[in-house]
Structure 1
Amino acid sequence: MTYVIAQPCVDIKDKACIEECPVDCIYEGPRKLYIHPDECVDCGACEPVCPVEAVFYEDDLPAEMHSYRVVDREVFDVLGSPGGSRENGTLPRDHAAVEAEPLQAPA
């Protein structure tokens, strides 16, 4: 199990979680941030700093966001393990579920 960034992050991308992550496992996509499930050490540092409450422990995802349980994992199934977000820049594309989300205006 690992942490997941769910739908409230889409088009918001505050990035406080990136700064807080001690292992550099949170990557930026065009519309959403993603936690690499194999690089995450389950420390939980990202969860309390998210201003839109988009970070959840995988088993604690609300029912309406349950589909996001696989989004982060599937992004990295394609990309592999880039070895840290700071050195790799923005991911080339978002997961199809994120691309299908209606655009949100930042709060």
Structure 2
Amino acid sequence: MVAGPKRGTYQASKHGVLGLTKSAALDYAARGIRINAVCPGIIHTAMLDKMMATQADALNAMLQNVPIGRLGRPEEIASAVLWLCSSEASFMVGHALAVDGGYTIR
């Protein structure tokens, strides 16, 4: 949903997923199949623990850009996915749902 310097390959892959999501949503919406994307922010995972062990300063710098001021939890991403799968989200299709503590609103 955003871009940054020196991360072209990573950014291209993420933007590609969003394009694929929209295209697939158009292909299948008429059949009642809802396709959306979940775009997580900085989530506290085992991979992030490894980064924190060697690059704590980098993580702190990244968190400066998260308005909510903290890491996300895997359960918060799971809750967003469960909501998208529920009838409560029955009118959502082709959407990129940012679950990122406000990172993309800056």
TM-score w.r.t. length of structure 2: 0.31
TM-score for both structures, normalised by structure 1: 0.31
Structure showing greater radius of gyration is 2
Task: Point out the structure with the larger helix share.
Answer: 2
